[in-house]
A and B are shown apart, each in its own frame.
Chain A
């Protein structure tokens, strides 16, 4: 069965520092992978997605993610975090239906 694991429940980074959020998936075939962001009291917004091709995908708000089949990972990165990036981030895998990880809460220190 497909599943997604986000090992970090909560991460705090300083504003301007780099960010990497981890995501590991379990899926038998080539997965469709997504990162969504959820600000407090808001719905989820798609940051980026991977279907095939180039394993480094660019998204909105300066985010990128790299698909590594050998590690079953799809980690999200940003070179310089802004205070407005504080939110909950969800990795998801699609194989018939969208399965979400449990989320990583990002806090940004001034």
Chain B
């Protein structure tokens, strides 16, 4: 079974530039998550989709971050304009159902962003 795919794995940009990350979840998984993991910290949920609807985006900085999940499958996370503090690993995860009902989120390997 293919896992969660993310690209690019690494990205270096200047501040105020834009960047986009792509995620393809495990086939059949209804729920998709984007997490931000800053060095030395645990992952922080940015946004959660159930199919193509947003369940939780309370911690998404909406002035610069946007995310979409077209057709309830792939998802894209965009940052525009980037700030230095956005340097982090962006993790995508998927699960069969929402939250703790299934108990397991499957994570991709992450996209490491460096903002100079």
Does B61 interact with chain A (Cβ within 8 Å)? no
Question: For chain A, what secondary structure do more than half of its interface residues adopt (helix, strand, loop), or is it mixed?
Answer: strand
Q: Is the CB of B100 within 8 A of A51?
A: yes
Number of interface residues of A (CB under 8 A): 23
Q: Is the CB of B56 within 8 A of A97?
A: yes
Task: Please measure, in the bound complex, the distance between the C-alpha atom of A46 and the C-alpha atom of B105, giving whole angstroms.
Answer: 8
Task: List the count of A-B residue pairs having beta carbons below 8 Å apart.
Answer: 56
* Set of chain A residues within 8 Å of B100, measured between Cβ atoms: 32, 51, 94-95, 98
* Set of chain B residues within 8 Å of A42, measured between Cβ atoms: 109
Does B108 interact with chain A (Cβ within 8 Å)? yes
- The segment from B35-43, B62-70, B71-79, B80-88 found at the interface with A is B35-43
Does A110 interact with chain B (Cβ within 8 Å)? no
Minimum CB–CB distance for A70 against chain B, Å: 22
Q: Is the CB of A45 within 8 A of B99?
A: no
Minimum CB–CB distance for A58 against chain B, Å: 14
Interface residues of B in 1-32 (CB under 8 A from A): 3-4
Task: Please measure, in the bound complex, the distance between the C-alpha atom of A52 and the C-alpha atom of B44, giving whole angstroms.
Answer: 25
Q: Is the CB of B99 within 8 A of A96?
A: yes
Does A44 interact with chain B (Cβ within 8 Å)? yes
Which of B43, B48, B103, B109 lies in contact with A90, CB distance below 8 A? B43
Which of A43, A46, A51, A92 lies in contact with B109, CB distance below 8 A? A43
* Set of chain B residues within 8 Å of A25, measured between Cβ atoms: none
* Set of chain B residues within 8 Å of A97, measured between Cβ atoms: 45, 48, 56, 99
Task: Please measure, in the bound complex, the distance between the C-alpha atom of A32 and the C-alpha atom of B103, giving whole angstroms.
Answer: 8
Q: Is the CB of B40 within 8 A of A94?
A: no
- Which A residues fall within an 8 A CB radius of B? 4, 32, 34, 41-46, 49, 51, 90, 92, 94-103
